[in-house]
Chain A
Amino acid sequence: MYQIKLDAPDDFEGWRAAARRLARADVPPERIIWSVETAGSGSADDLFAEAFSGAGRPDMDGSESADAAPFAISRAFLDLAQTALLHSDPARFALLYMLLLRTRRAPHALHDKADPLVRRVEALAQAVRRDKHKMRAFVRFREIGNGDDAERHFVAWFEPDHHIVRANAGFFVRRFPNMRWSILTPATSIHWADGILREGPGANRSDAPDGDPVEDLWKGYYSAIFNPARLKVGAMLSEMPKKYWRNLPEAALIPALIAGAQAREAAMIAAAPRKERLSQERMSR
């Protein structure tokens, strides 16, 4: 068995380098144990595994030696792998390695969308894309500071499903380059100030501020833009599942809005003058 330890759960470069060496040496997937380096993980090492370096064998030292078979990985595979690798499924490294071997033998393997392995990896990538999108949507900044522009700092607490935080930082930089902001999550935090993006350790919800004066306005807007005459709770839930609610200030209003909706429409119809209702009934006959 070979043990491959990646530096971080989203260490794509590390996975790629290792996978390239392993594939060139034709190591079968079942002989590899993939894991992520964590503090104190040493004791959990597989006792029967040996670290794989490829050192000592000319075809396995990681450099493109002259007689090594050319090994091109398609752009399509890299794009897919780069995304799928951020998934929290521990099997992702192995699945991607299997798919890599497959594409080496059959360059068109990725096109076979009905193949179970391709499907599975695409489903991982799809879940990651959705998680990234939802993070972009549902991060809510709260302001700390005293209103003095130089002191303003916007802080958010977010709980992603997958290892997307680093990969998603660019979006917030492009959108808010002139704000000082931090996004705290259980596994990592990212901070932007003065044009520099920094990474920090994971945080707790209590590290983030618990309110913002503008939130009341936002909640007022959220209630007012809702049309109680067309309740579609299922449609809302499929795009904004409950797991996000606890970090969305406006979500606290939802139960009351739903409860009030039916009563409000009934009242509206009952309030119409009787004469009009009669003429309406006549019209519809």
Chain B
Amino acid sequence: MAWLDTRQKLEILADAAKYDASCASSGTAKRQSTRGAKGGIGSTEGMGICHAYAPDGRCISLLKILLTNSCVFDCHYCINRKSSNVRRARFSVEEVVDLTLAFCRRNYIEGLFLSSGIIRSPDYTMERLVAVARSLREDHGFRGYIHLKTIPDADPDLIREAGLHADRISINVELPTQAGLTRLAPEKSSARIEGAMGRMQAEMIDSADARKRYRKAPRFAPGGQSTQMIVGADAANDRTIIDRASSLYGRFGLRRVYYSAFSPIPAASAVLPLSRPPLIREHRLYQSDWLMRFYGFSAQDVGNATDADTGNLPLDIDPKLAWALKHRDSFPVDVNRAPRTMLLRVPGLGVKAVNAILHSRRWRSLRLEDVGRLTTSVAKVRPFLIAADWRPVALADRADLRPRVTPPPRQLDLFGA
């Protein structure tokens, strides 16, 4: 095999794929390989495995590449857009299959995340993507994780086949508002994107239904669907972004919404901002996403934590603390009596700590020292809690609470904001 040639193409096509934040390989059906000619290779065991981390802090669990970085569309924020002067490359179906297997055998990765620029037509492109997944599954018995990016305008039959081979499928909504999309991705439409998301959700529901009746009924994308929004390429504020994410979760049963802080790309289009939003903004959005998925916050709760004028989350404190500071009358919370929902609102108490508190307090009354063993920072939670031997001295009312609970500024972002 001409490895040198492959290496150059791989570098171009991985470089083009790195703006997609998702590398998840968890939460799909459990599968393993078995001995024998048809036994295959690869497995998925629920918890995804990050086989490496890059210096950008991101997990590498999948071979994440584009089939080609040529594209007939001209989305301004995208390095692969038609008018970009980036070097182009294209992999054949066999090349991607061989690379995936070669990497998997050496335990570099546990699957493939394949996307593509649109060449010739949406159907032609989608057909190539599906061909890779089909060959991996059917010719090589590949049991690892496959994530396929689908193309909204492709034939629904192709998307159905994609979902039968893939663990996860996704379509990026790209920008939080239709206005942003119109300006920055003129060939895309949120109506068509959402139409495709709705069809994929319907397929998932049908497949789950069928499997209740016939155990052997094929699964459609058991890892669900996800999407990505670019943050900071247009003027949308955090409140708008959070509302949009929450409506996508609600309407399409998405597994995940990823946020990607807009990165300045080489040879950027003139309509884009030249500097990027602080990475900490993306981090705050992920935190608010967690609050909605695991802490019982509604989009409105998180919205209440944003600044009334700008609609943005504070950058210096996390959204849970921001919410607590705006709702001081809800605190302090009694660790020995408060319901789970209220314990989850306490800044500094994670889901695990809350569960441990609920377990432990059935057997005895918890003191501050006990809480200290269950959390990372008792200093952070103390102002908001009552324990058997502890009651904050109306600390939650004090005007100087914010400086007391705000972490000292830390250089989180090497390039500054």
Q: Across the interface, do A272 and B102 meet the contact criterion of CB distance under 8 Å?
A: no
Q: Across the interface, do A175 and B41 meet the contact criterion of CB distance under 8 Å?
A: yes
Give, as a whole number of angstroms, the nearest-CB distance from A182 to chain B: 13
**Nearest CB to that of A217 among chain B residues?**
B7
Q: In the complex, A220 Cα to B3 Cα: how many Å?
A: 11
Chain A residues positioned under 8 Å from B51 (CB to CB): 137-138
Of the candidates B14, B19, B43, B56, the one whose C-beta lies within 8 Å of that of A174 is B43
Q: In the complex, A41 Cα to B121 Cα: how many Å?
A: 72
Give, as a whole number of angstroms, the nearest-CB distance from A166 to chain B: 18
Give, as a whole number of angstroms, the nearest-CB distance from A250 to chain B: 6
Of the candidates B10, B19, B53, B56, the one whose C-beta lies within 8 Å of that of A224 is B10
Of the candidates B7, B34, B52, B274, the one whose C-beta lies within 8 Å of that of A177 is B34
Contact-residue bracket for chain B = 35 or more
Q: In the complex, A229 Cα to B279 Cα: how many Å?
A: 10
Q: In the complex, A221 Cα to B8 Cα: how many Å?
A: 10
The answer, yes or no, to whether A51 is at the interface (CB within 8 Å) is no
Report if A112-B360 is in contact (Cβ < 8 Å); known contacts: A176-B33, A217-B6: yes
Chain B residues positioned under 8 Å from A179 (CB to CB): 41, 105
Q: Across the interface, do B415 and A265 meet the contact criterion of CB distance under 8 Å?
A: yes
The answer, yes or no, to whether A47 is at the interface (CB within 8 Å) is no
**Nearest CB to that of A213 among chain B residues?**
B3
Per-position 1/0 for A143-174, Cβ under 8 A of B: 10000000000101000000000000001001
Segment touching B, from A25-33, A56-64, A273-281: A273-281
Per-position 1/0 for A216-229, Cβ under 8 A of B: 11101111111111
Chain A residues positioned under 8 Å from B273 (CB to CB): 280, 283-284
**In chain A, residues 239-285, which have Cβ atoms closer than 8 Å to a Cβ of chain B?**
239-240, 248, 250, 254, 257-258, 261-262, 265, 268-269, 271-273, 276-277, 279-280, 283-284
The answer, yes or no, to whether B216 is at the interface (CB within 8 Å) is no
Q: In the complex, A213 Cα to B229 Cα: how many Å?
A: 38
Q: Is the interface of A mostly helix, strand, loop or mixed?
A: helix
**In chain A, residues 38-75, which have Cβ atoms closer than 8 Å to a Cβ of chain B?**
none
Segment touching B, from A1-9, A85-93, A95-103, A230-238: A230-238
Q: Across the interface, do B374 and A236 meet the contact criterion of CB distance under 8 Å?
A: no
Q: Across the interface, do A217 and B34 meet the contact criterion of CB distance under 8 Å?
A: no
Q: Across the interface, do B274 and A143 meet the contact criterion of CB distance under 8 Å?
A: no
The answer, yes or no, to whether B261 is at the interface (CB within 8 Å) is yes
The answer, yes or no, to whether B253 is at the interface (CB within 8 Å) is no
Report if A111-B362 is in contact (Cβ < 8 Å); known contacts: A175-B33, A178-B36, A229-B263: yes
Q: Across the interface, do A240 and B106 meet the contact criterion of CB distance under 8 Å?
A: no
Chain B residues positioned under 8 Å from A230 (CB to CB): 56-57, 261, 263, 279
Number of interface residues of A (CB under 8 A): 72
Chain B residues positioned under 8 Å from A218 (CB to CB): 103, 106, 108
Give, as a whole number of angstroms, the nearest-CB distance from A122 to chain B: 9
The answer, yes or no, to whether B371 is at the interface (CB within 8 Å) is yes
Q: In the complex, A133 Cα to B363 Cα: how many Å?
A: 33
Give, as a whole number of angstroms, the nearest-CB distance from A169 to chain B: 14
The answer, yes or no, to whether B303 is at the interface (CB within 8 Å) is no
The answer, yes or no, to whether A116 is at the interface (CB within 8 Å) is yes
Of the candidates A236, A262, A283, the one whose C-beta lies within 8 Å of that of B54 is A236
The answer, yes or no, to whether A104 is at the interface (CB within 8 Å) is no
Of the candidates A178, A212, A223, A284, the one whose C-beta lies within 8 Å of that of B39 is A178
Q: In the complex, A156 Cα to B275 Cα: how many Å?
A: 44
Segment touching A, from B149-157, B264-272, B293-301, B397-405: B264-272
Question: For B35, B42, B103, B415, which residue has the most chain A Cβ atoms within 10 angstroms?
Answer: B415
Q: Across the interface, do B371 and A226 meet the contact criterion of CB distance under 8 Å?
A: no
Of the candidates A114, A139, A212, A250, the one whose C-beta lies within 8 Å of that of B360 is A114
Of the candidates A143, A178, A257, A258, the one whose C-beta lies within 8 Å of that of B41 is A178
Q: Across the interface, do A212 and B106 meet the contact criterion of CB distance under 8 Å?
A: yes
The answer, yes or no, to whether A136 is at the interface (CB within 8 Å) is yes
Per-position 1/0 for B20-56, Cβ under 8 A of A: 0000000000001111100111110101011111111
Q: Across the interface, do A224 and B11 meet the contact criterion of CB distance under 8 Å?
A: yes
Per-position 1/0 for B96-123, Cβ under 8 A of A: 0001001101111010000000000000
Question: For B6, B10, B364, which residue has the most chain A Cβ atoms within 10 angstroms?
Answer: B10
Give, as a whole number of angstroms, the nearest-CB distance from A282 to chain B: 12
**In chain B, residues 243-288, which have Cβ atoms closer than 8 Å to a Cβ of chain A?**
261, 263-266, 268, 270, 273-276, 279
Of the candidates A136, A141, A225, A258, the one whose C-beta lies within 8 Å of that of B14 is A225
**Nearest CB to that of B14 among chain A residues?**
A224
**Nearest CB to that of B8 among chain A residues?**
A220
Chain A residues positioned under 8 Å from B279 (CB to CB): 230, 232
Q: In the complex, A224 Cα to B413 Cα: how many Å?
A: 21
The answer, yes or no, to whether A205 is at the interface (CB within 8 Å) is no
Give, as a whole number of angstroms, the nearest-CB distance from A147 to chain B: 10
Q: Across the interface, do B414 and A113 meet the contact criterion of CB distance under 8 Å?
A: no
Chain A residues positioned under 8 Å from B276 (CB to CB): 229
The answer, yes or no, to whether A142 is at the interface (CB within 8 Å) is yes
Give, as a whole number of angstroms, the nearest-CB distance from B97 to chain A: 14
The answer, yes or no, to whether A17 is at the interface (CB within 8 Å) is no
Segment touching A, from B59-67, B129-137, B158-166: B59-67
Of the candidates B45, B63, B268, the one whose C-beta lies within 8 Å of that of A272 is B268
Q: Across the interface, do A261 and B43 meet the contact criterion of CB distance under 8 Å?
A: no
Q: In the complex, A224 Cα to B108 Cα: how many Å?
A: 15
Q: Across the interface, do B105 and A222 meet the contact criterion of CB distance under 8 Å?
A: no
Report if A226-B56 is in contact (Cβ < 8 Å); known contacts: A174-B32, A176-B41, A262-B414: yes
Q: In the complex, A213 Cα to B106 Cα: how many Å?
A: 11
Of the candidates A111, A195, A235, A273, the one whose C-beta lies within 8 Å of that of B359 is A111
Q: Across the interface, do A231 and B55 meet the contact criterion of CB distance under 8 Å?
A: yes
Q: Across the interface, do B268 and A133 meet the contact criterion of CB distance under 8 Å?
A: no
**Nearest CB to that of B366 among chain A residues?**
A114
Q: Mind listing 5 A-B residue pairs with CB under 8 Å?
A: A142-B106, A178-B35, A226-B54, A262-B415, A269-B275
Which residues from chain B sit less than 8 Å from chain A, CB to CB? 3, 6-7, 10-12, 14-15, 17-19, 32-36, 39-43, 45, 47, 49-60, 63-64, 99, 102-103, 105-108, 110, 261, 263-266, 268, 270, 273-276, 279, 356-357, 359-360, 362-364, 366, 370-371, 373-374, 414-415
Going nearest first, the 5 A-B pairs with the smallest beta carbon separation are A235-B57, A232-B57, A114-B370, A113-B356, A174-B32
